[in-house]
Amino acid sequence: MKLATRTALVLILVITGLFAIGTVLVYSSQERVLPKVRADGINLGGLKKEEGQHALLRLEEELKSKSVVLRCQSKNWPLALNQINFKMDTVTVMKEALAVGHTGSFFRRVQDIIQVWQNGYQVPLVITLNKEKFDRILVKITKEVGFLPQDAAFQVLNDDTIKIIPAREGLGVNKQQAYHNLLDSLNKKEKELIINLSLEPLRPKRTTQEVEAMGLKGLLSAYTTSFEASNYDRAYNIRVAAGALDGLTVPPGQEFSFNRVVGPRSSEAGYKNARIIFNNQFVVGPGGGVCQVSTTLYNAVLLANLEIITRTPHSLPVTYVPLGRDATVAYDAIDLRFRNNTESYVLIKSFVSGGSLTFKIYGNTDYKVPVKINTVIKKVFEPKVVYEADPNLKKGEEVVKQKGLRGYQVTAERVVIEEGQIKREPLPGSLYRPLNQIVAVGTKKEEVVASPPEELPAENAPEENIPTEKTPVEVSVPPS
457 vs 249, higher pLDDT = 249
Domain presence at residue 287:
yes
pLDDT at residue number 14: 46
- Which residues, including other chains, have CB under 8 Å from residue 144's CB and lie 6 or more apart? 75
Q: In what order do the strands lie in the sheet with 437-444?
A: 385-394, 437-444, 398-402
What sign results for the dihedral spanned by CA atoms 211, 214, 218, 221? negative
Q: Which of the four pLDDT bands, split at 50, 70 and 90, describes residue 396?
A: confident
Q: Which of the four pLDDT bands, split at 50, 70 and 90, describes residue 480?
A: very low
Q: Which of the four pLDDT bands, split at 50, 70 and 90, describes residue 126?
A: confident
Residue 409's Cβ-side half-sphere holds a number of Cα atoms within 13 Å equal to 4
Alpha carbon distances (Å) from 426 to 97, 167, 272, 416: 76, 44, 36, 11
Q: Which of the four pLDDT bands, split at 50, 70 and 90, describes residue 475?
A: very low
User: What is the spatial distance between Cα 284 and Cα 144, in angstroms, rounded to a whole number?
Assistant: 55
CA dihedral 308, 311, 313, 319 (to 10 degrees): -60
Q: Above 90 in pLDDT, residue 324?
A: yes
pLDDT at residue number 332: 84
Tell me which residue of 167, 152, 31, 155 sits closest to 101, measured CA to CA.
31
Domain presence at residue 479:
no
Report, as an integer, the average pLDDT of 457-473.
Answer: 46
User: What is the spatial distance between Cα 232 and Cα 422, in angstroms, rounded to a whole number?
Assistant: 44
Given its phi and psi angles, is residue 52 left (phi above 0), alpha (psi -120 to 50 degrees) or beta?
A: alpha
Domain presence at residue 98:
no
User: What is the spatial distance between Cα 329 and Cα 122, in angstroms, rounded to a whole number?
Assistant: 64
User: What is the spatial distance between Cα 219 and Cα 156, in angstroms, rounded to a whole number?
Assistant: 9
Question: How many residues are given for the chain?
Answer: 480
- Which residues, including other chains, have CB under 8 Å from residue 413's CB and lie 6 or more apart? 373, 374, 424, 425, 426, 427
Over residues 187-210, the pLDDT tens digits come to 776 677 899 999 999 999 999 999
Q: Which of the four pLDDT bands, split at 50, 70 and 90, describes residue 34?
A: confident
Tell me which residue of 233, 295, 219 sits closest to 258, measured CA to CA.
295
> b/e for 277-290, b at 16 or more Cβ within 10 A?
beeeeeeeebbbbb
Q: Are 388 and 441 in contact (CB under 8 A)?
A: yes
Q: Above 80 in pLDDT, residue 286?
A: no
Domain presence at residue 78:
no
pLDDT at residue number 415: 97
Amino acid occupying residue 333: A
61-70, 207-216, 442-451 — which one is most confidently predicted on average? 207-216
pLDDT at residue number 4: 52
201-205, 397-401, 417-421, 471-475 — which one is most confidently predicted on average? 201-205
Over residues 273-284, the pLDDT tens digits come to 677 776 666 767
pLDDT at residue number 266: 80
Q: Is the pTM of this model over 0.85?
A: no
For residue 252, what are the domain limits? Answer: 218-443
% of the chain surpassing 70 pLDDT: 85
For residue 432, count CB atoms less than 10 angstroms from its CB and return exposed for 0-12, middle for 13-18, buried for 19 or more: buried
83 vs 111, higher pLDDT = 83
Over residues 331-378, the pLDDT tens digits come to 888 999 999 999 999 999 999 999 999 999 999 999 899 999 999 999
Domain presence at residue 16:
no
Over residues 442-458, the pLDDT tens digits come to 888 876 666 666 655 55
Helix runs in 285-396, H state only = 290-303
Domain presence at residue 3:
no
Helix runs in 391-432, H state only = none
User: Over the chain, what is the mean pLDDT?
Assistant: 84
pLDDT at residue number 453: 62
Q: Above 70 in pLDDT, residue 230?
A: yes
pLDDT at residue number 479: 38
Q: Above 60 in pLDDT, residue 43?
A: yes
Q: Which of the four pLDDT bands, split at 50, 70 and 90, describes residue 119?
A: confident
pLDDT at residue number 251: 97
Domain presence at residue 240:
yes
pLDDT at residue number 477: 34
Rounded to the nearest 5°, which phi and psi values hold at 130? -85, 100
% of the chain surpassing 90 pLDDT: 48
Q: By three-state DSSP, how is residue 446 classified?
A: coil
Query: Count of domains in the chain?
Result: 1
Q: Are 274 and 282 in contact (CB under 8 A)?
A: no
Domain presence at residue 283:
yes
DSSP letter assigned to residue 161: B
Q: Minimum mean pLDDT among 163-172, 201-210, 237-246, 382-391: which range?
A: 382-391
